Amino acid sequence: MVIGNIDLGERPVMLAPMEDVTDASFRLICKEAGADMTYTEFVSADALIRNIAATTRKLEINPAERPTAIQIYGRDVESMVEAARIVETAGPDLIDINFGCPVKKVAGKGAGSGMLRNIPLMLEITRAIVKAVKVPVTVKTRLGWDHNSKIIVNLAEQLQDCGIQALTVHGRTRSQMYTGSADWEMIARVKANPRLKIPVIGNGDITDGESALKAFETGVDGIMVGRASIGAPWVFHDIKRALGQHSEPELTTARKFAMLRRQISESVDRIDEYRGILHIRRHLAASPLFKGIPDFRPTRIEMLRASDLASLTQILDKIEYEILPKHA
């Protein structure tokens, strides 16, 4: 699969952009685990223009994680174009436009998937950004606003006509948020459209090697993994094994623990001890490493309440060397 001059090879697997998740450290760990391309947390056009420090930090890219896309969102042409030009100076491999985020604070203001209720504006923004920058521009969106407006097949053509060089489709409507199941039949219809020439990347409910293989059966050019990577960056390793793209053995529990410990350490180094641990709690809470362990609830609560590195390390040591061996 090729986007612009970026050759991602056959059946690439990408890390989806996720707010408060896909920071630079996590992206690099996922890259090392097998992700073919990474995406930053989505960046607010308005905040970027106002030079908000927390937002501009999201533009930092480690050369080792490339190729990397920076994703932006907003609700008007002028600010989105200005933000795209600022982003271009940060040197991403491509700029992705977020027309898919379903959360109320974004979509409710007309940005993200809120644009699915204003297609003329969505297309105007897309055309203007493509014209304003030299790097490839892509779009990530959903099937439509709700069950009665699944417009993605026609919308994909319209976005292609605006000049985008790839399209990622999350197989849910905005109204679904993250409930129900992703509709891969609709994604397959997008890909099967003979008038669509750009690569199509499928997103939604890809959690392991088996679901990745099924996703590629729809004909998509690439797949994108989101929530399944939270607390489990090794999911890319597992998927690559299933696709036959590497022959490395399955990762041991010890190696998976090492990945989580690295995330904690780098989160603390990047921010500070207290906020770095707060940031990593989402990963610890979601990690499949701890699922199914009998009588684990008290230890889980203790782990998620730890507020300093020494305490958290001690709890993880207990889990890795005492609780997990007994569970196994």
Q: Which residues are the active-site residues?
A: 101
Q: How far apart are CA 34 and CA 177, in angstroms?
A: 28
- Where helices occur in the chain by DSSP H, the ranges are 24-33, 45-49, 53-56, 77-89, 104-107, 119-132, 152-162, 184-192, 209-216, 235-242, 253-270, 273-286, 297-305, 309-318, 324-327
Contact 192, 214 (CB under 8 A): no
For residue 99, what are the β-bridge partners? 141
Q: How far apart are CA 263 and CA 280, in angstroms?
A: 7
DSSP 274-328: HHHHHHHHHHHHH-GGGTT-TT-HHHHHHHHH--SHHHHHHHHHHIIIIIHHHH-
Helix 297-305 and helix 309-318, axial crossing angle in degrees, nearest 10: 160
Task: Give the Cβ contact number of residue 217 at 10 Å.
Answer: 10
User: Which residues, 6 or more positions from 69, have their beta carbon under 8 angstroms from its beta carbon?
Assistant: 17, 37, 38, 39, 40, 92, 93, 94, 95, 96, 138
Contact 21, 231 (CB under 8 A): no
Helix 24-33 and helix 235-242, axial crossing angle in degrees, nearest 10: 30
Reported residue count of the chain is 328
CA nearest neighbour of 16 among 258, 257, 182: 182
